[in-house]
């Protein structure tokens, strides 16, 4: 479309590439994963029954000590927060490195 | 000491004179009319005062604001603004608000507007030469027909297809998304004055805009800078690319006087300026000047025996069944514009061409037309109109038609060969300047006489120049420095808020992490051992072809999870960018509507 661009800010804004804040993404992912695993575990515990959470408890192969119990929910929160924040931080770190490679920052001033 | 002759006692000329006075330079102002202020004057009829248009005082330049406040002091009122559009027997908020417009238009019409907008986005005009194409491409043809076409054609007196797209483009030149967002942020703080294109309040002299120029003229006279009224400049004499003298017509019958000048600052219309050159300019320059067109204006003032008529300062009349374009309610600009609070004075504005049927109509006929049209619109009953008058203002607006650009370029080139002549003001530059632009051009011209080098033509073109001093958060007594330091930080924050995600980068990040998670999970199970190894995780094989909990499967899973993660990240980034872009476009479009829609507003940046 042959529109006349007269707005320089438009170009400036559209050329800006977002960066991720690794710390913030780590905290957010950590909290989400930790809370998610805690709630999922508690949900199964509260439901009760035979072989409580037989599938979710398979996570014990990756998270030593984890089980679908009250104490397992707390431990699950810890593991979820730990691995979630690691994943979040890693995603942000990789994203920012790739952005830096593809869009080198211009020196200003 | 050098002597400067200033032609015209409008906002530009008087400001130039005031600035020269401040610089200790000698100047004289010559005005052909009997009233100062140019189109920003205030006329009076039996104690009712009214504008030629409606002149809000609104500046982003602290020096201009300071001068206004200094000149008028307590008489410089701050007034609320309400202006709406009247169309199809309904009022619409202006600036347009989506919900209000939707309610007013009704569902079917709103649907048509929406569909035509989508169509314009899908199949826009490939070339935007005229106003119709320009607006339709941005807002859709239906919205253009409802809110732009009738009014714009009333104003300019020609089909929108003959109005240059440049006019609209200039209105939104440097239109600033940043400022809109800043206003949202700063406005939310609630403790600072916000000056925006969508201004909700404005300043206005207690007795109308003419009060400002009358006071300034008095001040100039008192300080030894004469303002000669009813003294038109007849000829500008030039030699060796310099204006050497001017001939003015004096009060004495047939009397003329020749004035020597070191510098000349002119705000007279370019056509008149060039035709008064002695010797005359080349024929091609005179022809170019004659190609410049102007739009003229007349106000039918109706005195209505009602305390309240409508709450707006002015109303845009889009209804095609009447010829009136805008109705001012002067009492709402300042209560002291009327001598008797039980009455109201309305200014019905007709955009005309000198010599056309309206311009040539007797005042009585125009008063009758005005009263009749108010009745048709249902705003005022004809029987409530008790008196009225008519004011005609020639050359009120320069016309941006197909020919003006080339003609103006030729004229500018020619005038540039006279280093001691500067042209300023709306008609002086044949540019749709508002008061602020005119005053800035006047200030710059005066400073150029004082030895500085400013481009007076750059006013109203490079808005950035004078918006550097944006005073959106200034408090009394503050200077600019703190705001200037904060400005880049705020700009950067806004830029970050609308920054797009890099799809490849987000894809790479999510892909890498997904691949690592699956690889490490698989390896962990393999190291743990058992029979069978990781039966549950192996179920992923139903989604990842060839995946199983084995050393080979770990590699296959690494690649496939990486690919899936990459795809997911890519899509996420694109979706986020789409939404961010939509938010940004929405803000920008609202700004564009407000800028383009108000073709005759004076005081808009």
The reply to whether residue B124 touches residue A91, judged by beta carbons under 8 angstroms, is no
The pLDDT, as a whole number, for residue B488 is: 53
Question: In chain B, what residues touch A13 (CB-CB under 8 Å)?
Answer: 177, 494-495, 498-499, 584
A77: which 2 tokens?
Answer: 């929160």
> If you measure CA to CA, which chain A residue comes closest to B524?
A62
Planar angle of CA B591, B54, B462, nearest 5 degrees: 45
Residue B167 Cα, gap to closest chain A Cα (Å): 12
B467 touches chain A (CB under 8 A): no
Residues 136-175 of B with CB under 8 A from A: 137, 165, 169, 172-175
Whether the predicted pLDDT of B598 surpasses 60 = no
The answer to whether residue A78 is domain-embedded is yes
For residue B478, name the pLDDT band (cuts at 50, 70, 90).
very low
**Which residue out of B168, B197, B513 would a mutagenesis test of the A interface target, given it has the greatest number of A Cβ atoms within 10 Å?**
B513
The reply to whether residue A61 touches residue B506, judged by beta carbons under 8 angstroms, is no
The pLDDT, as a whole number, for residue B530 is: 79
Residue A93 Cα, gap to closest chain B Cα (Å): 8
**Residue of B509, B525, B536 with shortest CB distance to A95:** B509
The answer to whether residue A10 is domain-embedded is no
The answer to whether residue A6 is domain-embedded is no
The reply to whether residue A14 touches residue B500, judged by beta carbons under 8 angstroms, is yes
The reply to whether omega before B95 is within 30° of 0 (cis) is yes
The reply to whether residue A6 touches residue B173, judged by beta carbons under 8 angstroms, is yes
* Residues B217-251 pLDDT 10s: 999 999 999 999 999 999 999 999 999 999 999 87
Residues near B161 by beta carbon (within 8 Å), at least 6 away in sequence: B130, B131, B132, B133
Residues 477-496 of B with CB under 8 A from A: 494-496
The pLDDT, as a whole number, for residue A85 is: 95
Q: What is the mean pLDDT of residues A85-108?
A: 84
A62 touches chain B (CB under 8 A): yes
Planar angle of CA B178, B179, B185, nearest 5 degrees: 90
Beta strands in B217-272 (DSSP E): 227-228, 233-239, 242-249, 256-260, 263-266
Picking from B214, B266, B264, B170, the residue whose alpha carbon sits closest to that of residue B40 is: B214
**Which residue out of A18, A90, A100 would a mutagenesis test of the B interface target, given it has the greatest number of B Cβ atoms within 10 Å?**
A18
The reply to whether residue A6 touches residue B174, judged by beta carbons under 8 angstroms, is yes
Structural domain tally of chain A? Answer: 1
The pLDDT, as a whole number, for residue B259 is: 92
B206: which 2 tokens?
Answer: 């207690």
Residue B62 Cα, gap to closest chain A Cα (Å): 23
The answer to whether residue A12 is domain-embedded is no
Whether the predicted pLDDT of B492 surpasses 60 = yes
B565 touches chain A (CB under 8 A): no
The pLDDT, as a whole number, for residue B372 is: 94
The pLDDT, as a whole number, for residue B20 is: 94
Q: What is the mean pLDDT of residues B342-350?
A: 94
**Residue of B127, B509, B512 with shortest CB distance to A2:** B127
Task: State whether the Cα torsion B422-B426-B427-B432 is positive or negative.
Answer: positive
Return residue ranges of chain B for CATH 3.50.50.60: 3-47+208-291+403-461
The reply to whether residue B498 touches residue A90, judged by beta carbons under 8 angstroms, is no
The pLDDT, as a whole number, for residue B127 is: 84
The pLDDT, as a whole number, for residue B177 is: 56
The reply to whether residue A99 touches residue B534, judged by beta carbons under 8 angstroms, is no
Q: Domain span at residue A76?
A: 21-102
A5 touches chain B (CB under 8 A): no
The answer to whether residue A15 is domain-embedded is no
Higher pLDDT, B169 or B602: B169
The pLDDT, as a whole number, for residue B449 is: 93
The answer to whether residue A14 is domain-embedded is no
The pLDDT, as a whole number, for residue B202 is: 83
How far apart CA B235 and CA B424 sit, in angstroms, is 18
Planar angle of CA B409, B289, B231, nearest 5 degrees: 120
* Residues A22-79 pLDDT 10s: 998 999 999 999 999 999 999 999 988 888 888 888 888 889 999 999 999 999 999 9
Query: For helices B551-597 and B131-139, what crossing angle results, to 10°?
Result: 140
The pLDDT, as a whole number, for residue B275 is: 95
Residue B38 Cα, gap to closest chain A Cα (Å): 31
B207: which 2 tokens?
Answer: 């007795």
B458 touches chain A (CB under 8 A): no
Higher pLDDT, A73 or B143: A73
The pLDDT, as a whole number, for residue A4 is: 39
Q: What is the mean pLDDT of residues B163-178?
A: 63
CATH 3.50.50.60 fits B3-47+208-291+403-461, yes or no: yes
The pLDDT, as a whole number, for residue B571 is: 92
How far apart CA A63 and CA A34 sit, in angstroms, is 13
Higher pLDDT, B458 or B214: B214
A91 touches chain B (CB under 8 A): yes
ipTM value for the complex: 0.74
The reply to whether residue A87 touches residue B517, judged by beta carbons under 8 angstroms, is yes
The answer to whether residue A86 is domain-embedded is yes
Higher pLDDT, B52 or B337: B337
Q: What is the mean pLDDT of residues B365-390?
A: 93
A106 touches chain B (CB under 8 A): no
Whether the predicted pLDDT of B323 surpasses 90 = yes
For residue B192, name the pLDDT band (cuts at 50, 70, 90).
very low
């Amino acid at each position: 479309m042959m529109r006349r661009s007269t707005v320089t800010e438009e170009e400036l804004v559209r050329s800006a590439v977002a960066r991720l804040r690794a710390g913030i993404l780590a905290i957010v992912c950590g909290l989400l994963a930790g809370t998610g695993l805690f709630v999922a575990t508690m949900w199964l515990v509260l439901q009760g029954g035979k072989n409580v959470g037989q599938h979710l408890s398979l996570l014990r192969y990756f998270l030593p000590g984890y089980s679908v119990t009250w104490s397992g929910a707390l431990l699950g929160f810890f593991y979820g927060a730990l691995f979630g924040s690691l994943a979040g931080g890693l995603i942000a770190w990789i994203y920012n490195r790739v952005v830096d490679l593809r869009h080198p920052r211009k020196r200003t001033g | 000491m050098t002597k400067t002759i200033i032609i015209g006692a409008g906002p530009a000329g008087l400001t130039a004179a005031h600035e020269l006075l401040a610089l200790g330079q000698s100047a004289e102002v010559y005005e052909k009319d009997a009233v100062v202020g140019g189109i920003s004057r205030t006329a009076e009829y039996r104690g009712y005062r009214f504008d030629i248009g409606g002149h809000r005082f609104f500046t982003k330049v602290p020096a201009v604001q300071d001068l206004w406040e200094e000149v008028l002091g307590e008489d410089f009122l701050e007034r609320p603004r309400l202006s709406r559009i009247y169309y199809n027997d309904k009022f619409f908020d202006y600036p347009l608000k989506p919900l209000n417009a939707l309610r007013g238009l009704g569902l079917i019409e709103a649907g048509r507007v929406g569909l035509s907008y989508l169509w314009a986005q899908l199949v826009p005009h490939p070339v935007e030469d005229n106003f119709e194409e320009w607006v339709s491409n941005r807002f859709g043809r239906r919205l253009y027909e409802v809110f732009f076409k009738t009014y714009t054609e009333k104003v300019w007196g020609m089909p929108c297809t003959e109005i240059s797209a440049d006019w609209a483009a200039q209105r939104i030149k440097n239109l600033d998304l940043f400022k809109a967002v800043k206003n949202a942020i700063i406005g939310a703080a609630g403790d600072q004055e916000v000056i925006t294109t969508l201004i909700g309040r404005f300043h206005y002299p207690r007795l109308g805009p003419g009060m400002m120029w009358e006071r300034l003229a008095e001040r100039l006279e008192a300080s030894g800078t004469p303002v000669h009224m009813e003294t038109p400049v007849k000829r500008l004499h030039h030699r060796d690319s310099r204006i050497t003298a001017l001939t003015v017509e004096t009060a004495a019958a047939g009397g003329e006087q020749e004035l020597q000048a070191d510098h000349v600052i002119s705000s007279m219309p370019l056509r008149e300026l060039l035709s008064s050159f002695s010797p005359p300019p080349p024929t091609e320059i005179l022809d170019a000047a004659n190609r410049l067109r102007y739009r003229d204006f007349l106000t039918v003032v109706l005195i209505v025996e009602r305390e309240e008529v409508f709450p707006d300062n002015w109303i845009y009349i889009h209804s095609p069944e009447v010829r009136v374009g805008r109705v001012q309610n002067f009492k709402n600009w300042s209560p002291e514009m009327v001598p008797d609070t039980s009455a109201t004075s309305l200014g019905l504005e007709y955009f005309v061409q000198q010599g056309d049927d309206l311009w040539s109509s007797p005042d009585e006929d125009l008063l009758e037309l005005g009263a009749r049209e108010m009745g048709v619109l249902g705003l005022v009953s004809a029987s409530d109109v008790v008196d009225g008058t008519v004011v005609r203002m020639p050359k009120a607006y320069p016309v941006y038609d197909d020919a003006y650009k080339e003609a103006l370029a030729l004229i500018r080139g020619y005038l540039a060969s006279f280093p001691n002549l500067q042209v300023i003001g709306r008609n002086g530059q044949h540019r749709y300047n508002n008061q602020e632009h005119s005053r800035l051009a006047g200030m710059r011209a005066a400073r150029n006489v004082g030895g500085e080098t400013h481009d007076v033509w750059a006013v109203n073109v490079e808005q950035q120049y004078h918006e550097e001093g944006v005073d959106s958060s200034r408090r009394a007594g503050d200077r600019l420095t703190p705001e200037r330091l904060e400005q880049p930080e705020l700009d950067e924050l806004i830029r970050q808020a609308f920054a797009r995600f890099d799809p490849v980068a987000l894809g790479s990040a999510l892909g890498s992490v997904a691949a690592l998670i699956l690889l490490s999970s698989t390896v962990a199970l393999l190291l743990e051992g058992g029979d069978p190894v990781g039966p549950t995780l192996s179920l992923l094989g139903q989604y990842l072809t060839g995946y199983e909990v084995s050393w080979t499967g770990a590699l296959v899973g690494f690649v496939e999870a990486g690919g899936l993660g990459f795809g997911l990240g890519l899509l996420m980034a694109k979706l986020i960018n789409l939404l961010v872009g939509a938010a940004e476009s929405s803000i920008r479009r609202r700004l564009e509507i407000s800028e383009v829609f108000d073709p005759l507003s004076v005081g808009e940046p």
